[in-house]
Amino acid sequence: MKKRILLLSAATVAGALLYALKGNRHGRNGDTAKRDELANEPETSANGASAAAKEKRGARAKKQRSKAASMTKTDDGHAAIATGADHELDDQGTGQAEALQILTQIRDGAFEASDEKLALALGRPTEEIEQWIGGKELIDGDVLLKARTLATQRGLHLE
Task: With a cut of 80, say whether residue 140 has pLDDT above it.
Answer: yes
Give the model confidence (pLDDT) of 29-73 as tens digits. 555 555 555 555 555 555 555 666 667 676 665 555 544 444 555
Domains annotated for the chain, with CATH where assigned, are: 2-67 (no CATH), 72-159 (1.10.260)
111 confidence band (pLDDT: 50, 70, 90)? very high
Between residues 12 and 8, the one the model is more confident about: 12
pLDDT of residue 68: 42
Task: With a cut of 70, say whether residue 136 has pLDDT above it.
Answer: yes
End-to-end CA distance of the chain: 76
